[in-house]
C-alpha cells in the first residue's frame, strides 16, 4: 500500500550533475494520478511525498522506494490520445540548443522550453513518436539508473541505427569530452554508457521491436526493481492492472512485463 510521508516543497533547481545526454529523471502524467500512485504503491511498495509548487499548491507526487527517488507522478492536464507512460528525461547543458537540434531534425517539440518549479524542461517526440523530456536542472541528485529502484530504461524502436543517430545528435552522445555518454553496439542493441562514471555503466539501451503486448508501438520503457517478481505480478492483476509477460527467469534474472490500470507497460525485475 502507498504510504504518504508528508508534504514538501519542490527544492530550488540546481545545475544538472548528470553526464550530458544521460537519463536524469522519470515522470508520469496520469489520467488519474491518485489511482496511479495507489497502484504503484500496492504493486511496487512505493511511498509518496506530495510536492508543493507555487502558492503551496500540490503539483505532483514524488515516489520513493526505501528512501530512493523513482520519479514524479502528476495529473495529466489534457488527453493526447496516446499515453506516454513513464517518460525519461535526459540531461542537457543547453536546453535551447538541444531543442534547436530537435527542430533541425524535424522532431516535434510538444512542450517548452519552459521554466517549472523543478527547473527548465522540454518534451518532444522522437523518430517513431516516442515521447521523452529534456532537462537542464537535476531534480534529485540521488536519482540513478541501474543501482536503485530504476533498473533499466530502454527504447523500443523501428530502426536502432536511425534512433542512435537521432538521439546521439540531439544529446551529444559519443562526444570527445569525459562528461558525454558513450555508445556501443552489442548483441543487436545500442548500449548507452555513463562515460563520466567509474566502470562506465549502462544508463539506457536502444533496440528494434516493440514492448511485449504492444506490437507496432515504439516507446521508451522502464524496468523497476522489486523484492518479489511473482508477488508483484499477482498484485498488479488484483489491483486492476494486467500481466503481459508472466514471470520468468531464475533468481536475480527473474522478470515480468506488466501494465498498470491505465494500460501503461512496465517491467519488474528481481533485486
* Contact between residue 156 and residue 211 where contact means Cβ atoms under 8 Å apart: yes
Which of 50-54, 114-118, 128-132 reaches the highest mean pLDDT?
128-132
Confidence tier at 158 by pLDDT (50, 70, 90): very high
Q: What residue has cell string 514492448? A: 211
DSSP for residue 197 = S
Cell of 210: 516493440
Q: 179 is in which domain, residue-wise?
A: 3-270
Q: What's the predicted TM-score (pTM) here?
A: 0.86
Average pLDDT, the chain: 85
CATH of the domain at 95: 3.10.180.10
Calculate Rg over the CA atoms of the chain: 18
pLDDT at res. 139: 80
Q: Give the total number of structural domains in the chain.
A: 1
pLDDT, tens digit (0-9, with 9 covering 90-100), for 62-83: 888 878 999 999 888 765 545 6
Amino acid at each position: 500500500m502507498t504510504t504518504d510521508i508528508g508534504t514538501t516543497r519542490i527544492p530550488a533547481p540546481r545545475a544538472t550533475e548528470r553526464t550530458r545526454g544521460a537519463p536524469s529523471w522519470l515522470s508520469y502524467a496520469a489520467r488519474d494520478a491518485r489511482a496511479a500512485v495507489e497502484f504503484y504503491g500496492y504493486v511496487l511498495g512505493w511511498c509518496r511525498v506530495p510536492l508543493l509548487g507555487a502558492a503551496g499548491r500540490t503539483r505532483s507526487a514524488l515516489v520513493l522506494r526505501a528512501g530512493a527517488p523513482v520519479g514524479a507522478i502528476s495529473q495529466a492536464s489534457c488527453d493526447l490520445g496516446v499515453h506516454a507512460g513513464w517518460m525519461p528525461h535526459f540531461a542537457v547543458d543547453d536546453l535551447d540548443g538541444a531543442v534547436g537540434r530537435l527542430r533541425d531534425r524535424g522532431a516535434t517539440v510538444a512542450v517548452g522550453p519552459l521554466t517549472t518549479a523543478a527547473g527548465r524542461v522540454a518534451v518532444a517526440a522522437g523518430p517513431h513518436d516516442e515521447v521523452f523530456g529534456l532537462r537542464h536542472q537535476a531534480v534529485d541528485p540521488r536519482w540513478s539508473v541501474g543501482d536503485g529502484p530504476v533498473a533499466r530504461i530502454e527504447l523500443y524502436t523501428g530502426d536502432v541505427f536511425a534512433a542512435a543517430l537521432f538521439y546521439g545528435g540531439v544529446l551529444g552522445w559519443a562526444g570527445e569530452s569525459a562528461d558525454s555518454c558513450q555508445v556501443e553496439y552489442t548483441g543487436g542493441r545500442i548500449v548507452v554508457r555513463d562515460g563520466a562514471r567509474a566502470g562506465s555503466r549502462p544508463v539506457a539501451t536502444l533496440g528494434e521491436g516493440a514492448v511485449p503486448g504492444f506490437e507496432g508501438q515504439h516507446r521508451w520503457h522502464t524496468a523497476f526493481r522489486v523484492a518479489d517478481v511473482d508477488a508483484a505480478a499477482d498484485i498488479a492483476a488484483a489491483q486492476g492492472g494486467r500481466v503481459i509477460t508472466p514471470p520468468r527467469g531464475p533468481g536475480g534474472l527473474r522478470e515480468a512485463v506488466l501494465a498498470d490500470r491505465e494500460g501503461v507497460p512496465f517491467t519488474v525485475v528481481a533485486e
